[in-house]
Amino acid sequence: MRLLFIGDIMGRSGRTAVATHLPDLRKDLGLDFVVANGENAAAGFGITAKIAEQLFETGIDCISSGNHIWDQKEIMPFMDSEKRILRPLNYPKGTPGRGVGDYKLADGRRVIVINAMGRVFMDAIDDPFAGVNDALSRYGLGQTAHAIIVDIHGEATSEKMAMGQYVDGRVSMTVGTHSHIPTADAQILPRGSAYQTDAGMCGDYDSVIGMDKEEPLRRFTKKIGRERFKPAMGEATFCAVYVETDDKSGLARTISPVRLGGRLKSIRPE
């Protein structure tokens, strides 16, 4: 199976990058399933139902999220009705939406997407390791699921790395989000799961993690905030992770970073 995981989509420039590059990638790579983290898609803060629908039209099959998922309050009722949008599974019981997606492809193959959020330097929510372990107890990679994808949304690289090692051999790929900087550690772990600490973002890198530079610089240097943060609007770099799995086991055969357009050096799977 050919899988693509798209990093945090930051505002309008990020959405434009996805619309520009994803349709061709789906065709050229023969992608079977695409996940994207969309929690910053609405001007950097949350996502709306309208924007979600626009992203689905570009070729995204599932939208994962993180700590900004509730920034646009209108998304709450949509979360219960739209199964293609996930929130971290380790939010407390009773939180709207779902943290695990179970998707059936046209050819009958089954893809599971698990969205978890770290706790180091993040909100004090439930244990992501216990939550992911519980979710995995319901599925068998290569048995009841042809592919399992984990988005670990976290600040600490150590916590994301620990999650990758924790589920190695039980999932097809674990990819980190939230940091907005693509890491250089794309690899296949010892038991066969693909891993990258952070996919990066789809956003303008002439910025401070996707935000227009002026306000973050003022707050860092003067400790005084004047305005709301707003996304940088220059050309975005499309950042993603491509994984090809073994059809029988569901484990990874190859992993490659994807970077297209914008300021970062381009890299495209062969």
Token representation of residue 149: 């994808």
Token representation of residue 179: 């940091």
Q: Are 184 and 199 in contact (CB under 8 A)?
A: no
Query: What is the DSSP secondary-structure string of 26-48?
Result: HHHHT-SEEEEE-TTTTTTS---
What is the enclosing helix (H) or strand (E) of 163?
helix 157-166
Q: If you search the block for the tokens 């619309």, which residue do you land on?
A: 19
What is the enclosing helix (H) or strand (E) of 100?
strand 100-104
Query: What is the distance between the alpha carbons of residues 179 and 155, in angstroms, rounded to a whole number?
Result: 6
The DSSP symbol for 220 reads H
156: buried, middle or exposed (CB in 10 Å: 19+, 13-18, 0-12)? middle
Q: Are 114 and 150 in contact (CB under 8 A)?
A: yes
Q: Are 15 and 9 in contact (CB under 8 A)?
A: yes
Task: Kindly list the catalytic residues.
Answer: 68
Instruction: Give the residues across from 115 on adjacent strands.
Output: 151
